[in-house]
A and B are shown apart, each in its own frame.
Chain A
Amino acid sequence: MIWLTDVLAVIPISLFIWAVSLVLGAVVAVPTAGARMSQLRPVRILAAVYIEIFRGIPTLVWLFVIFFGLRTFGLSPTALVSAILTLGIASSAYIAETYRSGLSSVPIQQREATTALGLSPRLSLIKIVLPQAKPIIFAGLGSYAIHLLKETALTSLIGVVEMMTVANYLVERGANGLTVFFVTGVIYMLLCLPIAGAVRLLGRSRRQNRPAGPDSLTPLSTPTAPPECAAPWHGMRWHECNSSST
């Protein structure tokens, strides 16, 4: 198993591509989500087209388009740059949708309540909407981050020296393919575990471990309302999505 050290040695490269793409995606996704939810229809449509193009066309195709295709324009990005650019842009499309679904999960009535209290839209977003959207956004980000780590394996196809490239090389040199690829797969899996854990920690609301207060022992009455009434349901939804991430 001496070959194992060769695979382990390039873990930092896989993680580097993953981390930079994820951050790039998460940052670019902010204006993308903003545009997707814009009041202006043309802006909204443009963002929707961007998102669908990058989600609908396989990442591998984009990888080749950027690595080989940009040469037509006299640009020759290195394999590593192409990898990060591709995965970053593809991520921005996915993550923008994650942001959007998180934000739109907060009922419009919450915004109306802040408007009626004279809060600015900015404060409303920061103090009311984002805290409620956070658990949903982080849940989406978490599963995407795991997906993305596995996507980094694609970059071996344009010659980035990452885990799969090394594994391939070793097998070509006569190592047992089944063992090498299986072990490499397990390494991917083990790398995913802490990511899932970290994201779960980040998404946890500050309330989760907090006691309700000194008066929390008084018996609680269940909020009840007809189904058409929104508030208690939203209350429940908030509650449920917190506890589901425990």
Chain B
Amino acid sequence: MNVSMEKQPRMTETVQSAPRGQEAAEQPAVQVSNLGKSFGAVEVLRDIELEISTGEVITLIGPSGSGKSTLIRCMNLLETPSSGTLQVMGETLVQDGKILPKRSQLQEFRAKVGMVFQSFNLFPHLSALENISLAQVHTLGRRRAEADERSAQLLDSVGLGQRMNHMPAHLSGGQQQRVAIARALAMDPDVMLFDEPTSAIDPELRVEVLKVMRDLAQSGMTMAIVTHELKFARMISDQVLFLADGTIVERGTPDELFGAPQHERTHQFLAAIEETKL
């Protein structure tokens, strides 16, 4: 994947965190502690400890079934953790496996955590623009005109200004995913979650999505990404976590984890991925 990106200083980071004052610097955007998740009797996640600072980009990698999706879905409560604590932007959402906020507060919170799905999940009966405007109007209470203006702006910024009135079925996978990213960004989220955003896209179209994500990272967005694009992960991440069998086996900077993996399990996984590339 040819997304060139030097690790640049995040210019907007200071801008973004400035109004939040000093607290923001100390308070991680997302804090997960001792989190566990079971589906019935099957334990899918256990003892997850994880912290994402404001403006940080973390990547979750790991074999299929290791619990990556479940973990990222716990972060916006699409799955309810069975145990442990979850804090987002300083607010405790889950304590000892119990969701604290009321339903209406939960909706507000969810809007603040953007989610991008592997299968895009655009609304097929709405145009690209309407897909992005819908929740702005109904969740944030923006006026339709204001929402549409913002949507058009966002579509422009993901390179789809010319596709505003297209229906999702008339867009390529890469284009649909960029609309989905714009849709999540329209909520002005504090954190963006990506669950294998390029896995369902033709290889030659992936780069256009990765570029958008790279730009987003550079603008200072706090991001958690599940991906198999290791090269991209290496370029974009501040922290990489290797998940296997529902636990974080190893974590570190991209150079540490990809360059000198400490655990046999990590080694095997990275080697296996290398092999499939041949």
Contact = CB atoms under 8 A, between A and B. Distances in A.
B20 interface: no
Contacts of B135: 114, 117-119
A110 B170 contact: no
Given A109-B121, A224-B173, A225-B173, A119 B138 contact: yes
Contact of B202 (A205, A214, A224): A224
Given A116-B76, A213-B164, A235-B124, A221 B139 contact: no
B122 interface: yes
Contacts of B165: 212-216
B12 interface: no
Contacts of B164: 213, 215
A238 B167 CA distance: 11
Given A225-B173, A231-B122, A235-B124, A212 B167 contact: yes
B150 to A, nearest CB: 14
A230 B110 CA distance: 23
Contacts of B168: 223, 231, 235
A8 to B, nearest CB: 43
B107 interface: yes
Interface of A: 109-110, 112-120, 123, 127-128, 131-132, 205, 207, 212-216, 218, 220-226, 229-232, 234-236, 238-239
Interface of B: 76, 78, 107-111, 113-115, 117-125, 127, 134-135, 138-139, 162-173, 175-176, 183-184, 187, 199-202
A-B residue pairs, 4 tightest by C-beta: A213-B165, A118-B111, A229-B200, A117-B135
29 contacts: A110-B121, A112-B78, A116-B110, A116-B114, A117-B111, A117-B184, A118-B107, A118-B109, A118-B135, A118-B139, A118-B187, A119-B107, A119-B135, A212-B166, A212-B167, A215-B162, A215-B164, A216-B166, A221-B175, A223-B171, A224-B172, A226-B200, A229-B199, A231-B120, A231-B121, A235-B124, A235-B168, A235-B169, A236-B169
